Amino acid sequence: MVDLFRKHVESVDVGLTTFNKLESLQVNLGDLCNLSCAHCHHNASPQGTRIMGREVMDKIVVFLAYHPGLTLDITGGCPEMNPDFRYFIEATSGLAPRRIIRSNLVIALEPGMEWLPDFYKEQELVVMASLPCYELENVEKQRGRGVFNRSIGVLQQLNRKGYGSDLELHLVHNPGNGSVSGSRDMLELHYRKELLQHFGIIFSRLHCMNNTPIGRFRDNLERKGTYQRYIEHLAEKFNPSAIEQIMCRSLISVGWDGLLYNCDFNLAAGLPLGRKDGSLLKTEHIDEVITAGSPIQMAEHCFSCTAGQGSGCGGSLAKNVTQ
Ligand code: SF4
Ligand code: SF4
C-alpha cells in the first residue's frame, strides 16, 4: 500500500512527489493536551512529555528572520500548554505575516489560561479552532463529555473580541466515523446556520479534514478491526485533482525536538527527513530540504490527503470530488 500511494501520485504527474516552494512553516510545540480525543493522530494527552524548548524555538525565530513572508502554523498537542508558548509567540511577532494558532478552544477555560483570547487578539493570531461538528453528541463522542458547550462558550468570547469579523476565526471539521469528509460548502452552510441560530456564533471559514489513520485514531481502527477497510476506503476515494494542493509540496513541519518532517502527519507517524547518509535533519538544516525537487516521504496514511475533496491542515484541497 505504501508504494501504491506514490504510484497513484505518479500516475497523475511524477513531479508531484517532490517539494515545490516553501510557503508555510509548521511548528509542533509538543504532545501535551488537556483533552485525549479519539481521533487524535498525535496521541496527545495530559500525560504528554515531548515538549519543545527554547533552544529549538530560538532557531525557528532565526530561520523566520531570514525567510520573510512565510505563514507560521503553530500546532501540538495543545500548543498553548507549552510552558514557553507565550515566549515563542512574542519572539515571532513581526516575523511572519500570518501566524496561525491551532486551538482546541477549551484550553482557554482551564484555570490560569483565561488570558488566552486577549493574547490571541493582541498578537493578531489567526485562530484555527477544532469543532468536529455543530452537534453536541458528535463532538463529545470524539472529544469527551462537556467539550461541546465549553467550546461554544469560548467561540462566543472570541466573537466578542472581534474574531469571526475583524480577525480570522476558522473552524475545523472532522468526520466522526471512518468516513471521508462530505462537501465542504454544504457543511459550512450547516455550521453557519446552526451556530448562528442556536448560539449567535459567526466564523470566517470552515475547513474539512479527513481523519488520518495514525496515532490514537489508527489504534481505535485496529481495535475495531477496521483499519484496512478504512485505508481501502480512502484509496477508493482517491481524487487526482487534490494532488496538486497536498500541503507537503509547500510546507515543512518542525517537531518538538527540532527534527524536520514533510508534514505534521509524517511527524506523528515518525517519518523524519534525513540525508542520504542516514543523518537526520534539524531546524538549523531547513534550507537543505526546501529546494524544488526535494523528495517527499510518502506512506499509506497519505491517502487521507487525497480522498474525496482532499484534506490538509488548511482543509479541503480540491473543487472536484470523487464519489
Ligand atoms: S485532537 Fe487536538 S485537542 Fe484532541 S487530544 Fe489531539 S491535540 Fe488535543
Ligand atoms: S500525509 Fe503528509 S506527506 Fe503524505 S500526502 Fe499528506 S501532506 Fe503529503
* CA-wise closest residue to 123 among 89, 95, 169: 89
List of domains in the chain: 21-228+246-293 (3.20.20.70)
Give the ligand with the smallest distance to the CA of 264. 2
Please give the distance, rounded to the nearest whole angstrom, from the Cα atom of residue 266 to the centre of ligand 1: 16
* CA-wise closest residue to 6 among 317, 298, 301: 298
Ligand 1 neighbours by CB, cut-off 6 Å: 33, 35-37, 40, 42, 44, 76-78, 104, 130
Q: Angle at which helices 2-12 and 227-236 pack, to 10 degrees?
A: 10
Look up residue 187 and give its three cell numbers: 457543511
Please give the distance, rounded to the nearest whole angstrom, from the Cα atom of residue 71 to the centre of ligand 2: 18
- Tens place of pLDDT for every residue, the chain, 323 residues? 556 888 888 888 888 899 999 999 999 999 999 999 888 888 999 999 999 999 999 999 999 999 999 999 999 999 999 999 999 999 999 999 999 999 999 999 999 999 999 999 999 999 999 999 999 998 898 888 999 999 999 999 999 999 999 999 999 998 876 778 778 889 999 999 999 999 999 999 999 888 899 988 899 899 999 999 999 999 998 888 888 888 999 999 999 999 999 999 999 999 999 999 999 999 999 999 999 999 999 999 999 999 887 766 665 655 544 43
Give the ligand with the smallest distance to the CA of 131. 1
DSSP state string for 198-262: HH----SEEEE-PPPSSHHHHHHHHHHT-HHHHHHHHHHTB-HHHHTT-GGGTEEEE-TTSBEES
Q: Which of 31, 42, 131 to mutate to test the pocket of ligand 1 (most atoms within 8 A of CB)?
A: 42
Residue with CA at minimum distance from ligand 2 atom 8: 248
Look up residue 69 and give its three cell numbers: 513572508
Give the ligand with the smallest distance to the CA of 212. 2
Residue with CA at minimum distance from ligand 1 atom 5: 36
Q: What's the rounded Cα separation, in Å, for the pair 304 and 227?
A: 13
Residue with CA at minimum distance from ligand 1 atom 1: 40
Residue with CA at minimum distance from ligand 2 atom 7: 248
Ligand 2 neighbours by CB, cut-off 6 Å: 246-248, 262-263, 265-266, 296, 298, 301-302, 305, 312
Q: What's the rounded Cα separation, in Å, for the pair 173 and 132?
A: 4
> What is the value of pTM for the model shown?
0.94
